[in-house]
Amino acid sequence: MNKLIFTLLSLAGLALLAWFGFGLLAGPGSHDATEIGAVSTNFRLFGPNDKVVVERVDDPKVANVSCFISFAQTGGVSGGVGVAENPSQFALQCVARGPVTVPPGLPAEEEMSSIQASFLFKHFILTRMYDAQSNTLVYVLISTRILSGSPANAVSAVPVAAGG
């Protein structure tokens, strides 16, 4: 009986270690983004405060386009260890930092980046779309869950240079 208990405790310990290890590897910094800063929005006695985080995601296939994303991040004890679910509250603004041209072979629609909003089940996904008729790149940020989707979304557009 003691061997069974020891084995179960060992497996539980390994599962927790893997869970926290995965959380560190796939945590908020796992996407191609640069954190610009954060603003505290709610004081928490235990753990970090709730905050709004601002990140920059540079389009990896279109030069001179950056998207700035702000999103709510839950603090407290659960937020401090990376298991809190962040609310689907975010904003998006994409800007041209120079001439924007569409590279050959750019897909009409492509997922660019993903931000983890809960330990495993919720992400914010940034997708680029190309509207050839208006010669505009459209970026949309959505909230998604594995089990049920969310209508939360934000959109931003960047004009492509004439002839681009």
Write the pLDDT tens digit of every residue in 2-46: 665 545 445 444 434 333 443 333 333 345 789 999 999 888 888
DSSP 5-38: HHHHHHHHHHHHHHHHHHHHHTSTTSSS-EEEEE
What tens digit of pLDDT does each residue of 119-162 get?
Answer: 655 678 899 999 999 999 999 999 886 556 678 899 999 999 87
pTM of the complete model: 0.72
How high is the pLDDT of residue 131?
96
What tens digit of pLDDT does each residue of 63-94 get?
Answer: 999 999 998 888 888 777 777 777 778 899 99
- Residue 80: what residue type? G
